[in-house]
Chain A
Amino acid sequence: MPILKAENVSFSYDKKTEVLKDVSLEVKRGEYIAIIGHNGSGKSTLARLFNALIVPDFGKVYIDGLDTSIKDNQFKIRENVGVVFQNPDNQLVASIVVDDVAFGPENLGLSREEIGNRIDFALKAVGMESFRKASPERLSGGQKQRIAIAGVLALKPQILVLDESTSMLDPEGRREVLNVVKKLNKENGVTVIAITHYMEEVVDADRVIVVNDGEVAMSGTPEEIFKQKQTLKSYGLELPLASYIAEKLREKGVDIPQTILTEKQLSEALCKLKQKS
């Protein structure tokens, strides 16, 4: 059974323009999925559908078999799907790190001891154990976002949804957050759904889903997706910079393979050319 399943989902905020049209997709347990699309493509609406902040107008979303549109399921679903949002400043509720991480488990009504265990676990998972007593204002953007991740991890979710969670961070902060998320996926088996418009963050995903004008336009491995340059362009998206440079080189007659996604691959391909000549 897929851990997340959307069946013919349509949604509109104002009952006039549909933000999502007949979207169907499945996510397997432990997968690392990237969802890309231009601003306003409807990709952020997906995040809100996945943890029952909103429910589909038509169609269904199932989380681990539970229908999100049934009210009694929603608490369980939110416990199971942790969402980290874009602005780190707007998702922390307390002025002390440990109080903030405690917020979720407190909502679950857990015992003090269990809350304490979960705080330890969550802060350790994001590498922020030494900041228990810190005040969020004194932290960098990347650190704040790691606290936000800890805040949802304390609920012990199986799915972690990142709704453009790196877009307001500097490169250092972005790296910190991505490393934490990758580790959670690899070591703790957390299913990750990363919504982003940084193409560089997409190349390591198991699968990429392209959303355009409220529809799932493409789905496949990063290699499969970035091969289709023209189609991507028509959706207002671009290639990762390394792929773009490789593309340019091919246009100029340099013999570079089509599959290049990362700087490392491009560098190796170029060095190989030297050996040939």
Chain B
Amino acid sequence: MREVSFGQYYPSHSFVHKMDARVKILAVIAYIVAVFLVKPFYFLGFSACLAFVIIATAVAKIPFLKVLKSMKAIIFFIVLSAVLQLFFNSQGTPLWENGFITDAGLYNAIFIVLRITLIVLGASLLTLTTSPVEIADGIESLLYPLKFIKFPVHEFALIMSIALRFIPTLLDETDRIIKAQKARGADFESGNIFKRAKALIPVLIPLLISSFRRADELADAMDARCYSGSKNRTKYKKMKFSYRDLIGVIFTAGLIVGVVMLNGVLGVVV
């Protein structure tokens, strides 16, 4: 069996891991808002955000390198935005004579790189310290008030839960089908992009058919266990708000206040 590691959850028993997922989700949202609150070129604001991430990472007992690794996936995106700002910003004065890179372009590039980096670092801190199941439960609980405007919170949560449950199964199955077709001479690695896309048909069709079969069987199994929608349904799992969460809330609030103060009091640093 192949070990499927799904998501980037980093199991541990740290303070942050034990926090209520709802608080962590809200804290990350607040953190992202704080990052956006930093006015252009007030770089000290960013240092407050960075301090927040570093402290949280330390408390969560996650190797800092692990957090940085989450940048790998979007490094291309970051470089692209920086390049666009550098070369296509026509405002400001050129940095050297006849050069097309302006000071405003450079500031913008640095600013955007920092902004994206900080957002990704914060968000990955959530996924590193909270399992996908906890995140799903947290989202469900946070969405609960939407029930009163007839938003199908329960169904939404069930879809998330089933998706989480079946992703590893389907990954395994994909691997098996790819191998089976390879054994019949299928070639997924050579040829141009169209040829490669076409080569995937013998994988996608069996995968699709088997997914439908699984969905069918799962629906039967759920019916057989008396599933009849959210009506009269109770919930076993309860999320608990503890002193840790209170500390988390205070800490996050501190960040927002800090950023706002740095924005207003200190003025342009560069």
Contact = CB atoms under 8 A, between A and B. Distances in A.
Nearest to B133: A95
Interface string B198-234: 0000000000000001100110111111111000111
> Which of B4, B133, B162, B221 has the most C-beta atoms of chain A within 10 angstroms of its own C-beta?
B221
Interface stretch (A1-9, A78-86, A172-180): A78-86
Contacts of A99: 133, 161, 236-237
A211 to B, nearest CB: 20
A137 B169 contact: yes
B164 interface: yes
A118 B221 CA distance: 19
A109 interface: yes
Interface stretch (A55-63, A100-108, A241-249): A100-108
A58 B8 CA distance: 54
Contacts of B237: 99, 102
Contacts of B221: 83, 85, 90-91, 93, 148
B9 to A, nearest CB: 11
Given A53-B224, A106-B233, A115-B236, A90 B218 contact: yes
A92 interface: yes
A96 interface: yes
Count class of interface residues, chain B: 20 to 34
B236 A116 contact: yes
A109 B169 contact: no
> Which of B213, B218, B223, B224 has the most C-beta atoms of chain A within 10 angstroms of its own C-beta?
B224
A87 interface: yes
Contacts, number: 97
Contacts of B162: 93
Contacts of A137: 4, 168-169
A94 interface: yes
Nearest to B162: A93
Contacts of B238: 112
B45 interface: no
A107 B228 contact: yes
Contacts of B217: 85-87, 90-91
Contacts of A83: 221, 224
Interface of A: 48, 51, 53, 75, 78-79, 82-83, 85-87, 89-96, 98-99, 102-112, 115-116, 119, 136-137, 148, 151-152, 155
Given A112-B234, A115-B234, A95 B226 contact: no
A106 B158 CA distance: 13
B232 to A, nearest CB: 4
Nearest to B222: A93
Contacts of A53: 220, 223-224
B165 interface: yes
B226 A108 contact: yes
Given A53-B220, A107-B225, A108-B226, A136 B234 contact: no
> Which of A89, A95, A106, A116 has the most C-beta atoms of chain B within 10 angstroms of its own C-beta?
A95
Nearest to A87: B217
B8 to A, nearest CB: 16
A43 B160 CA distance: 34
Contact of A95 (B158, B164, B218): B164
Contacts of A108: 226
B234 A94 contact: no
Contact of A112 (B161, B164, B218, B236): B236
Interface string B234-248: 111110000000000
Given A90-B217, A136-B165, A137-B168, A104 B236 contact: no
A2 to B, nearest CB: 21
Contacts of A85: 217, 220-221, 224
Contacts of A155: 225-226
Nearest to A50: B224
Nearest to A115: B236
A75 to B, nearest CB: 6
B226 A94 contact: no
B105 interface: no
> Which of A86, A94, A104, A155 has the most C-beta atoms of chain B within 10 angstroms of its own C-beta?
A94
B165 A93 contact: yes
B270 to A, nearest CB: 48
Given A107-B228, A109-B232, A115-B236, A96 B133 contact: yes
Given A90-B214, A90-B217, A92-B165, A110 B224 contact: no
B138 interface: no
Contact of A93 (B4, B161, B233, B234): B161
B132 interface: yes
A95 B227 contact: no
Given A53-B224, A82-B224, A106-B233, 19 more contacts: A53-B223, A85-B217, A85-B221, A89-B169, A89-B214, A93-B158, A93-B218, A93-B222, A99-B161, A99-B236, A99-B237, A102-B236, A103-B225, A105-B234, A105-B236, A106-B236, A107-B227, A115-B234, A137-B168
